[in-house]
Chains A and B, each alone.
Chain A
Amino acid sequence: MSRNIKLAQYLVRLYPKVWRNRYEEEFLALLEQQPLSLPDGIDLCLGALDAHFHPHFGIAALSVYEKIRQMLASLRGSLLTIFCAYCGFLVAGIGFQKMNEYSGFVEATQTYGIVGLSFHLVMIGAVVALLAVLVGGIPLVAAVVRDAFARKHYGLLFLLAAPILALAVFIGATLFLEGLIPVGAPTLQTFLSRGIFIAVFLGAAVISTGALCYAVVRSEISEKLLRFAVLPAILLAFAMAVMLVATLIWGLDLRNSAPHLFNSNEGMFGTSTIGSWLTIVIEMAIATALAMISLVRGFSARSALPPAMA
């Protein structure tokens, strides 16, 4: 098998499963008939992105029941991806908030108009995003609880409790590590303690998010609830975009207004401010892009549901 065909086979895996079930064989037959040039390879990748935006591609030949099932699965997957993106964004946001607890940044927020305005925009965006998650998420959690009792799947209740357990573990680990960090100049023990703290924090966030998503995937959620959840998801994605822009403006204006602070080592855990800010912005940008793509995909799946389901 030539390298070209192997590459084509790898690239075809970028397409969604539903699409591949329908078109993969004939698509590979086409790719085997012509060498894959660089422009064609790029075109293929863009085609895969387009197929992710349109989850209804490839379902034309399916029965109405299968079409509805596929579209509801796509809608649910999109909503959960938006939620995961929000959780990733939240981790970056917590980093930004912790960084701003340092007195130099508090002073800058009060002194420089744009720095202060952008910081407050991030705070307002965080409240709006949280409200959107609660409005969209509480009915889904209630549906999971109802389903757990109705079908006697009590494991679902354990999954819903996982974030509380993870929080308890995180608080316990924090209290334990606090006593281990030596006062004064950083030592190997300081770095180890910080490393464990970050690992526990990220672990708790991943386990909590994963458990909630798994509970929703395993439950029977009505189509009406899933359709409704798209509306708060729009608000959530918009709030994330606003916070991303505000965080970007915050750093750019800080660089102009207070270069001594921007070029200092007042970032997370005493690291470079620029490095911390850039890390936060990049993480926020990736999460926002993921949320936006999933929102488009969710809309597409929602609009592809048969009229009887509307």
Chain B
Amino acid sequence: MNSFNLGRFSDPPILILASLAGSPKHGYAIMEDIVAFADVHLGPGTLYGAIARLESQGLIEPLPADERRRPYRLTAAGVAFLQKQLTGLETFANMGLQRLADI
């Protein structure tokens, strides 16, 4: 997935959920992970704006702080939400690839 820019699908909340699907991570690790798998740099304001939204919607939850850094993990609702979003993307991608193959 390196160097693959998700373009308009690089929606920060989805990127964060996808990052946390691997393992619980704190803010900086999420930021680094997203650069690694999607080549997208989230600014600190965008990252924490999205984290606050996801937390208020119950899609992620904080774990006990590791010194000053606080890791986050997906909740059951977060897993279901990400599953639904990625399935939608997969359907869309399959349809697009099918049409390209027919050209």
Return the CB mask of A46-57 against B: 1 if under 8 Å, else 0. 111011001011
Which residues of the partner chain B approach A28 to less than 8 Å between Cβ atoms?
68
Which residues of the partner chain B approach A47 to less than 8 Å between Cβ atoms?
43-46, 48-49
Among candidates B44, B46, B53, residue contacting A31 with C-beta atoms closer than 8 Å: B44
Among candidates A25, A39, A40, A43, residue contacting B68 with C-beta atoms closer than 8 Å: A25
B4 within 8 A of A: no
- Complex CA gap A220/B54 in Å reads 33
Number of A-B residue pairs with CB-CB distance less than 8 Å in the complex they form = 75
A60 within 8 A of B: yes
Which residues of the partner chain A approach B27 to less than 8 Å between Cβ atoms?
26-27, 29-30
Minimum CB–CB distance from B57 to chain A (whole Å) comes to 9
B13 within 8 A of A: no
- Complex CA gap A56/B47 in Å reads 17
A95 within 8 A of B: no
Which residues of the partner chain A approach B56 to less than 8 Å between Cβ atoms?
56-57, 59-60
Secondary structure at the B interface, as helix, strand, loop or mixed, is: helix
- Complex CA gap A42/B26 in Å reads 22
Contact assessment for A29 and B28 in the assembled complex, using a CB-CB cutoff below 8 Å: yes
Given contacts A33-B28, A51-B49, A59-B56, contact A26 B69 (CB under 8 A): yes
Given contacts A30-B27, A30-B28, contact A44 B44 (CB under 8 A): yes
- Complex CA gap A46/B65 in Å reads 26
**Interface positions of A from 248 to 286, Cβ below 8 Å from B:** none
A210 within 8 A of B: no
- Complex CA gap A48/B44 in Å reads 10
Return the CB mask of B59-99 against A: 1 if under 8 Å, else 0. 00010010111100000000000000000000000000000
Contact assessment for B45 and A48 in the assembled complex, using a CB-CB cutoff below 8 Å: yes
Which residues of the partner chain B approach A39 to less than 8 Å between Cβ atoms?
43
A232 within 8 A of B: no
Given contacts A19-B52, A23-B48, A48-B45, contact A61 B68 (CB under 8 A): no
Minimum CB–CB distance from B11 to chain A (whole Å) comes to 15
A165 within 8 A of B: no
A58 within 8 A of B: yes
Which residues of the partner chain B approach A29 to less than 8 Å between Cβ atoms?
26-28, 67-69
- Complex CA gap A23/B48 in Å reads 8
- Complex CA gap A47/B51 in Å reads 11
Contact assessment for B45 and A44 in the assembled complex, using a CB-CB cutoff below 8 Å: yes
Which residues of the partner chain A approach B68 to less than 8 Å between Cβ atoms?
25-26, 28-29
Which residues of B are in contact with A by a Cβ distance under 8 Å? Answer: 26-28, 31, 43-49, 51-53, 55-56, 58, 62, 65, 67-70
